Amino acid sequence: MKIHLRQIPQGSTIHLEADVDPAFLELGPDDAEAISPVHCALDVGLSDNGLFATGSLSLRIRQTCVKCLRPFETTLVVGDFGTQVDLVGCESVDLTAQIREDILLVLPSHPRCDDDGSTKCPATFQSAPAAPLIEEVDHSTWDALDQIKPKK
């Protein structure tokens, strides 16, 4: 997402909303599949020799559940996006790298279809019976072993 500095009034901020093609995320086939554009809602302003941007990012993705191995769709949200970029004589600033980094940080490494709480994963496993972790020791066995005298 490129921002032209002449758009921003000095001492003020502007609100920008854009839908960006998700190809820049470079998601691998094992990571996730983007099924919508990246929606950016940013407040952008100028400070001493820099540009700041705060806001939110969202994206619909398709992933495979690590528990049941079926694909599912979810929305990734970066609700507290924020960045500061130093200005070095340029007319525009590209925030693509910062947006990509924040989205990849919220991408689940072990996605589950039931993480949202509204669905139930079909791969449910029966829990182990509630048995004591330590079995009681039969003392008669130890008593019999204590009576054995080693040969000298």
Where do the structural domains in the chain lie, given as residue ranges? 2-110
Residue 136 has pLDDT above 70, yes or no: no
Residue 125 has pLDDT above 70, yes or no: no
Contacts of 134 (CB under 8 A, 6+ apart): none
Percent of the chain with pLDDT over 90: 24
Q: Single out the residue of 63, 1, 2 nearest to residue 28, CA to CA.
A: 63
| Mean pLDDT score, 5-27 | 86
Task: Write out pLDDT tens, residues 80-113.
Answer: 999 988 887 778 888 999 999 999 999 988 888 8
pTM (predicted TM-score) = 0.72
Cα–Cα distance for residue pair 75/60, rounded to 1 Å? 4
